[in-house]
Amino acid sequence: MLATRTLSPVASRRARSRSQPTSVLETGMDNYRLLLFGALAFIVMMIYQAWEQENYEPPRVANSASTPSAPTTAGSPPSAAGIPSAPPATPVVAEQPTIESGERISVTTDLVRAEIDTLGGDIKKLWLLQHPVSVDKPNEPLLLFQESAADVFIAQSGMVSHGPDSPTHKVRYSAASATHTLASGADELRVPLTWRGPGGVLFTKVFTFRRGSYVVDVEFQIANPTATPWSGFFYGQLQRSFVETGGLFSLPTYTGAAIYTPAEKYSKLSFEDMEKKPLARETTDGWAAMLQHYFVGAWIPQAGARTELYSQALPNRRFVIGAKNLVATEVAAAGTGVIKARLFAGPKEHKRLEQVAPGLELVVDYGLLTVISAPLFWLLSAIHGLVGNWGWAIILLTVLIKLAFYPLSATSYKSMAKMKKLQPKLQSLKERFGDDRQKMNQAMMELYKTEKINPLGGCLPIVVQIPVFLALYWVLLESVEMRQAPWIGWIKDLSAQDPYYILPIIMGVSMFVQQKLNPQPVDPVQQKVFMIMPFMFTAMFLFFPAGLVLYWTVNNVLSIAQQWRIMRIVEGKK
């Protein structure tokens, strides 16, 4: 009987605990911190998911000892139209170490240096002269297109026809000169390659490079001296090998294909997607691209041409994305004809991209927050135009955002300041009621009612600001303008990590100070969790680009200043 009377209150409290849901007010004083923790955890989750996607390794495709049959979607109209399929997108030989090659044509302009292969007229190499490999190697330009066994990224184009005269990317062209350089004062450089088919039709493939442009015009000039009409279909494609990227602390940047159609707009096509199912999408005025962080290659068919965007997964872990015309170019007997397309190969600079083709600027991918990120980038660029330094532009933009959200932040910090003043009383309630959660909740509700405090008052303002801060995060992550942009002293590249980890440490200290200003949880377990957070995020930010850490640090410092001022005001009131 005695045992029953002793255990009954405990059992009763447990029963009430099971039947009575935990009140929101019970944890109201640290709702802000929990919400902030959730937001930061969301960022970590996003980075981890992107890392998993970036490090996905598709199953290897069995190699064939002989050249496979031609695919039905690579550069030719549907077989129902009676048009033969294009040849394979790449010569495929078991364990082939490199792509087959012919003679090389060297092309140099003010922005690029390229190597065009006479075999197929493919652009096998392309250096971006204004974008060094790294700050430490200012005289070594970045190699965008390449053909190494480890990393293939090349641009191919050609035409397929009914008869033997098909200037695909497998035929061998001839060239009058092996070296072409944009002359001083000239605005364009034309590089012609010629091939005469076995049927007698003469094809001149002309590459036109222009000063100050990353767009290459590709033109097929067709001279048909025969007595038979000729017709053919243009195709342009980008071939890339699967890219092993990142590590545990890699950033969520995207490497893979993307397409655009006026109807369905911009969409990505990962290597995994191409592995599962080939793409075949008909459109007009669309484009196909292969992306990597900061840079892109894209084929843009002739305006108004009805095309099919297609993809292929090839052996040796190579992938193809391209566009082919579905309407033939007709050349009468003893007549001539021309078909054109454009290739963009360069940095993802917003202003350049939007002038090349509709929707091409979307390869600067801000994700779901584009509607917020795009105006933020515009404002950041405008500030940079005034101060001439991207680091100071980031700081000024962060200050402007904090000013814009000052009223909301003030409301949040006032609520937290009031909650902090209640800490002794809340602790007293915890000691008084112990494990009786129901009475604890009732007492807390009475206390909040008496003090006229809404424990959720600090949450809504923060919820409103989170999308803006995440949008700015993506702006700083995606903008090629930050690449190798210096700030001050030791920060010579805002897109690279701080070499001496000074900014991450300052950020960690600011986060620790900010946490101390917030009301502390009554639960000792939560107190330990929040004490660990500054150290955890400092460790993570050690590997983040300096521009992102700078933004986060400035935001923390401004928040500390605002929160300290508001708490002084609130604590000074009776």
In this structure, the answer to whether residues 412 and 540 fall within a common structural domain is yes
pLDDT at 411 > cutoff 80: no
Query: Tell me, what's the pLDDT at 454?
Result: 67
Residues 350 and 387 in one domain: no
Give percent of the chain above pLDDT 90.
54
Q: How confident is the model at residue 48, as a pLDDT?
A: 41
Is 230 contained in some domain?
yes
Q: Which of 106-120, 136-150, 447-461 has the lowest mean pLDDT?
A: 447-461
Average pLDDT over residues 399-425: 78
Of 328, 357, 386, the domain-final residue? 357
pLDDT for position 99? 66
490 pLDDT higher than 90: yes
Please state whether beta strands 104-108 and 179-181 pair in parallel, antiparallel, or not at all (unpaired): parallel
Q: Same structural domain for residues 279 and 395? A: no
Q: Count Cβ atoms below 10 Å from residue 12 Cβ, excluding itself.
A: 12
107 and 242 together in one domain: yes
291 found inside a domain: yes
The span from the CA of 271 to the CA of 266, in Å, is 17
Q: Which long-range contacts (CB under 8 A, 24 or more apart) does 191-197 make?
A: 191/105, 191/107, 191/116, 193/105, 193/116, 193/118, 193/121, 195/167, 195/171, 197/163, 197/164, 197/165, 197/166, 197/167
Bridge partners for 104 per DSSP: 117
Looking at the structure, do residues 244 and 340 belong to the same domain, yes or no?
A: yes
Of 406-410, 417-421, 552-556, the one with minimum mean pLDDT is 417-421
Q: Which domain-ending residue is among 301, 332, 357?
A: 357
455 within some domain: yes
Q: 405 with 531, same domain?
A: yes
pLDDT, residue 534, reads: 86
- Provide the pLDDT for residue 7: 41
Within a domain: 33 = no
Tell me the sheet residues that pair with 217. 208, 342
Mean pLDDT of 326-351: 96
**Domain carrying residue 157:** 60-357
Tokens of 380: 């950041």
The reply to whether 531 and 407 lie within a common domain is yes
Distance CA 225, CA 214 (A): 35
Residue 136 lies in a domain: yes
What does the pLDDT read at residue 43?
A: 52
Mean pLDDT across the chain = 80
pLDDT band of residue 503 (cuts 50, 70, 90) is very high
Does 353 share its domain with 451? no
- pLDDT of residue 310 exceeding 50: yes
Regarding whether 429 and 339 lie in a shared domain, the answer is: no
Q: Is residue 64 part of a domain?
A: yes
DSSP 319-364: EEEEEEESSPEEE-TTEEEEEEEEEEEEE--HHHHHHHSTTGGGGS
Answer yes or no: do 346 and 404 share one domain. no
* Residue 246 falls in which region: left (phi positive, over 0), alpha (psi -120 to 50) or beta: left
Calculate mean pLDDT across residues 361-372: 90
pLDDT of residue 97: 43
Residue 147 in domain = yes
Token pair for residue 480? 């090629």
pLDDT digits (tens, 9 = 90+) for 432-460: 776 777 877 788 788 777 777 766 655 66
User: Is the same domain home to 478 and 407?
Assistant: yes
Domain contains 250: yes
Closest CA to 308 of 86, 542, 143: 86
What total of structural domains would you count in the chain? 2
Of 30-39, 180-189, 199-208, 298-307, the range with the lowest mean pLDDT is 30-39
Tell me, yes or no, whether 470 and 333 share the same domain: no
Answer with the residue of higher pLDDT: 574 or 534: 534
Predicted confidence (pLDDT) per residue in 531-554, tens digit: 888 888 898 889 888 998 999 899
Specify the length of the chain in residues: 574
Q: Which two tokens stand for residue 512?
A: 């620790």
- 156 three-state secondary structure: strand
Torsion of CA 117, 122, 128, 129, to 10 degrees: 30
Nearest to 153 by CA among 276, 277, 288, 321: 321
Domain boundary residue, one of 357, 385, 414: 357
The CATH number for 82's domain is 2.70.98.90
How far apart are the C-alpha atoms of 373 and 355, rounded to whole Å?
20
User: Looking at per-residue confidence, does 279 or 520 come out higher?
Assistant: 279
Q: What pLDDT is attached to residue 247?
A: 53
Reported as a single tens digit per residue, the pLDDT across 265-299 is 999 999 999 999 999 999 999 999 999 999 999 99
